[in-house]
Structure 1
Amino acid sequence: MTTIPAAAPPAPRQSAFRTLLGTGVGNALEWYDWNIYASFAIYMSRELFSSKDPTSAFLETMGIFAVAFVARPFGGAFFGWLADRIGRKHALAIAVIFASGGSLLIAVCPTYHQVGAWSSLILLLARLIQGLAHGGELPSAQTYLSEMAPPNRRGLWASAIYVTGSFGLTLGLLFGVVLRDTLGSDAMNQYGWRIPFAAGAVLGVFAFWIRERMEETEAFEDEKKAGELKKSLVREVLKHKKIALQVIGMTCGLTVAYYIWSVSTASVAQKNLGYSTNDAFGASIIGNLVFMVSLPLWGMFSDRFGRKTNMLIAMIGCAVLYVPLNNMVRGGNEFWRLVVAICVMLVLLGAYLAIAPAAYAEMFPTEVRATAFGVPYAIAIALFGGTAPYIMSAWAATPNRFVIYVIVLLLISAATILTLPETKGIDLSYHPKFNPRPDDVATS
């Protein structure tokens, strides 16, 4: 197997702090938005839907939550196009304004009592806007971060994406607990649930201010000067349809395993397995904190040993340990069981997630990097990650069926990763081996 030699690190165009803050603050907002909607759905359902059937109202609220996943591929296409045509930093700035606007719309949404079914439609519109924004956030952010990072430290820098995302998720969890304990149930039902969405809107404005002051990546500016951006984006993206299918294959197992163990396991343990609310919440917090600590370590590991090594450790390790860890959680309701299972699985997944932004960016040439990655990735998230909670619920009576489903997807991802070349440390300004330009082919 041939590995492309690492390029010499370029001179920094802006401070590492500004780069990491600019990409991280919007990414944290995405995960924050996603978590607070799920956390406060019970309160929203009472205010924005008919109160005649509370169960139906809650299911409708969660149905609108799922709509955001449907919108993600369209967001990946739109914001990926922006990133590949007008620049990474501008796409990032516009995406975060969309996310902020969606949060604000939810915060000020009139109640069902005030406007009837219009309240549900406004919530749907807000989630569509957020889905578009979040579908474009990750490909734009990881493309920008990967292109700004020194080639020999790209794995380490890439780990910041999921560190900040996990921070946003944890912030949403803590915010929910503080509000519930401080305001009480009556105030939460009346107005308290709106507060975290208003805070998210303010955070979005702050993120926009930071992102508009960031510098554009040198890789994008080089492509612009070379005239590569004048080519048909659709035609150029279609040239890489095989790699797009590889993105879906390598992501399907990752996204299902992550959504289940990062979010759903604690809820299922509380609802179905006899764990207390405090134990379930505490295990989730501890697991995500351990996960965040592991990410930079995995990033540095990949900068030395390669992206494929990390990804295979994650997918094969999770497939092998999935049944034992699942049985550990179900073998009793002791707190330590839940903590150990979540921590082990998230640390393993961290081996892939830490370097995913770098690995995906290294698969595509500069002129189509955000779009060609963003669309298939969003499709994988929508098809597999977005449906995971529903499939798990539908197969609740036969849980082994879902376990087999996840393991099969993990093995599909591992098999797909084996077909990839190693890309550690390549120069993202030019991609001569995997995606040669026509004139390169002609002269080779």
Structure 2
Amino acid sequence: MTIGINTKAGTVAGHPNKKRTLVATGIGNAVEWYDWAVYATFAPFLAGALFNPADKTSAVLATLAIFAVGFLARPMGGLVFGLLGDRIGRKSTMTLAITLASLGSLLIAVAPGYDSVGAVASAILLAARLLQGLAHGGEMPASQTYLAEMAPKEKRGLWSTLIFTSGTAGVLFGTLLGAVMTATLTRADMQAWGWRVPFIIGAVLGLYALFMRSMLDESEVFSKVDQKTKRAPIWPQIVRNRKQALQVIGLTVGLTLAYYVWGVGATSHAITKLGMDAGEALRAGLVGNIVFIIALFFWGKLSDRIGRKKVLFTGAVGAAVLHFPMTWLLKDQPWQLVVTMSVMLIFVAANASILPAVYAELFPTTIRTVGMAVPYAVCVAIFGGTAPYLQAWLGSLNLAIAFNMYAVAMLLTSAVFAFTIPETVGKDLNEQVA
């Protein structure tokens, strides 16, 4: 994935190192998100192949429970990879993260079936998902930090849009692959061997990302820090920057909840709860996510001109104000899903586009990765990972309004936190050493 971004010396296309930075960072991030998408898409086939087929309901629930385990592993991955990122470097940490993610995909792809090894098959799946959860917990903070440090300071907002752009592209690719395979293969073929194909593809793409990342240069910002400073105890630095960690949670909570509701869960909600045709809902979701990607570039570029705080506040308040109207509009028609997803994701994109840059601009170089990694991962696991479940559960109790009020409250919380941070647009990251 390449982006034509102007620098003082010309375009990215004219500077191989800049182009390589964007491609290697983007494809690695896309592979991580792709892994999560294909697991969710092919979960029914995983259940049939790797769990006891005698109890299909329990098999599906166990498969989804292992999906949730991946979320629970993210905070630990954020801690481990965050510490590594601030000790040994951003490049090495990104490379290790994509290696673990690829290994996880490969383990799933070659896992023996339940019919041949029994519960060992389920254990292999669990181990693979733990690896991928750890990897994803480390991938996001490492790649966000690296990208922010490599970007020209006057274009950092625009460059940071690559994180959610590449991630969304990975999700779309995984979802479309699932749609194509289920349409062209019989259910018997899908159950027998077809479900392995997307995980083989994930492992191969991961190897390509690994190759690309191995050729990257270490961030100059990190390289300038002397070894003695890098080896200094990290915990006292974290304590000194505890306010920034709280700000990460406050800024993220509204974004992650709204993104998982409107960007991830809206399509399945329309199919399972509103009775929308699955094919039409998937096409509507595709349109909504394309709008999201376009909006990311708009907000990222705008933030480099008018500042981060105005964009963050506008996105959070806009999403909060429109959440109830869009919820009321969404019924059982595909056009309604297109409109509601597009409108909400336009405002969600305001935060998603630039938060990777904001996180980096809040912390000093020596704890920039771990400082944002742990609070971010905890916030996503608690508020993002539970959002679709809470929405479905409260809806089943006829308490949908309670969930919607909760979503609005979290968005307004993020809007308030936008006022607590300093304006960081154009900040020189070389000046930030704890």
- TM-score per shorter chain, which class? over 0.9
Displacement after TM superposition at 1:177 (Å): 1.2
- Equivalences for residues 21-420 of structure 1 within 5 A: 21-224=23-226, 227-330=228-331, 333-397=332-396, 398-420=399-421
CA distance in structure 2 between the partners assigned to 1:109 and 1:407 by the alignment: 43
**Contact 2:108/2:196, CA 8 A, preserved across alignment:** yes
3-state SS in 1 of match to 2:429: coil
**Contact 1:9/1:152, CA 8 A, preserved across alignment:** no
3-state SS in 2 of match to 1:47: helix
Displacement after TM superposition at 1:171 (Å): 0.4
Displacement after TM superposition at 1:114 (Å): 1.1
3-state SS in 1 of match to 2:215: coil
Displacement after TM superposition at 1:339 (Å): 0.3
Displacement after TM superposition at 1:9 (Å): 7.1
3-state SS in 1 of match to 2:425: coil
CA distance in structure 2 between the partners assigned to 1:312 and 1:269 by the alignment: 29
The one-letter amino acid of 2:357's match is A
**Contact 2:47/2:56, CA 8 A, preserved across alignment:** yes
Displacement after TM superposition at 1:213 (Å): 0.4
Q: Deviations over 1:61-81 (max 9, x none)?
A: 011001011100111111111
Displacement after TM superposition at 1:14 (Å): 5.6
**Contact 2:104/2:132, CA 8 A, preserved across alignment:** yes
**Contact 1:308/1:418, CA 8 A, preserved across alignment:** yes
CA distance in structure 1 between the partners assigned to 2:356 and 2:167 by the alignment: 13
CA distance in structure 2 between the partners assigned to 1:335 and 1:75 by the alignment: 38
1:4 aligned residue? none
Displacement after TM superposition at 1:350 (Å): 0.6
The one-letter amino acid of 2:420's match is T
CA distance in structure 2 between the partners assigned to 1:10 and 1:238 by the alignment: 40
**Contact 2:17/2:216, CA 8 A, preserved across alignment:** no
Percent identical pairs in the alignment equals 46
The one-letter amino acid of 2:282's match is F
CA distance in structure 1 between the partners assigned to 2:401 and 2:42 by the alignment: 30
The one-letter amino acid of 1:299's match is G
Unpaired segments ≥5 residues, structure 2: 1-6
Q: Deviations over 1:68-106 (max 9, x none)?
A: 111001111111111111111110101000000000011
The one-letter amino acid of 2:151's match is A
Q: Deviations over 1:232-269 (max 9, x none)?
A: 12222222112111111111111011011112111111
3-state SS in 2 of match to 1:223: coil
Displacement after TM superposition at 1:52 (Å): 2.0
Unpaired segments ≥5 residues, structure 1: 1-7, 438-444
The one-letter amino acid of 2:428's match is D
The one-letter amino acid of 1:252's match is V
When structure 1 is superposed on structure 2, of 46-55 and 184-193 the one drifting more is: 46-55
1:19 aligned residue? 21
Displacement after TM superposition at 1:108 (Å): 0.9
CA distance in structure 2 between the partners assigned to 1:395 and 1:113 by the alignment: 38
1:422 aligned residue? 423
Q: Deviations over 1:44-69 (max 9, x none)?
A: 11111111221121111011001011
3-state SS in 2 of match to 1:52: coil
The one-letter amino acid of 1:166's match is T
3-state SS in 2 of match to 1:395: helix
The one-letter amino acid of 1:197's match is F
**Contact 1:287/1:339, CA 8 A, preserved across alignment:** yes
The one-letter amino acid of 1:376's match is P
3-state SS in 1 of match to 2:217: coil
CA distance in structure 1 between the partners assigned to 2:129 and 2:333 by the alignment: 37
CA distance in structure 2 between the partners assigned to 1:16 and 1:340 by the alignment: 36
Displacement after TM superposition at 1:10 (Å): 10
CA distance in structure 2 between the partners assigned to 1:310 and 1:113 by the alignment: 54
RMSD: 1.6
**Contact 2:284/2:338, CA 8 A, preserved across alignment:** yes
Q: Which has the higher contact order (CA 8 A, sep 6+)?
A: 1
CA distance in structure 1 between the partners assigned to 2:353 and 2:124 by the alignment: 36
CA distance in structure 1 between the partners assigned to 2:93 and 2:54 by the alignment: 43
CA distance in structure 2 between the partners assigned to 1:41 and 1:80 by the alignment: 30
CA distance in structure 2 between the partners assigned to 1:39 and 1:408 by the alignment: 31
The one-letter amino acid of 1:343's match is S
State the aligned residue count.
423
**Contact 1:68/1:131, CA 8 A, preserved across alignment:** yes
1:441 aligned residue? none
2:4 aligned residue? none
The one-letter amino acid of 2:370's match is T
The one-letter amino acid of 1:202's match is V
The one-letter amino acid of 1:171's match is F
CA distance in structure 2 between the partners assigned to 1:404 and 1:291 by the alignment: 24
Displacement after TM superposition at 1:430 (Å): 1.3
CA distance in structure 2 between the partners assigned to 1:265 and 1:390 by the alignment: 12
2:3 aligned residue? none
3-state SS in 1 of match to 2:124: helix
CA distance in structure 1 between the partners assigned to 2:73 and 2:333 by the alignment: 39
CA distance in structure 1 between the partners assigned to 2:120 and 2:8 by the alignment: 54
TM-score, normalised with respect to structure 1? 0.93
Displacement after TM superposition at 1:313 (Å): 1.1
CA distance in structure 1 between the partners assigned to 2:68 and 2:231 by the alignment: 36
CA distance in structure 2 between the partners assigned to 1:113 and 1:359 by the alignment: 50
Displacement after TM superposition at 1:16 (Å): 2.2
The one-letter amino acid of 2:301's match is M
CA distance in structure 1 between the partners assigned to 2:163 and 2:364 by the alignment: 21
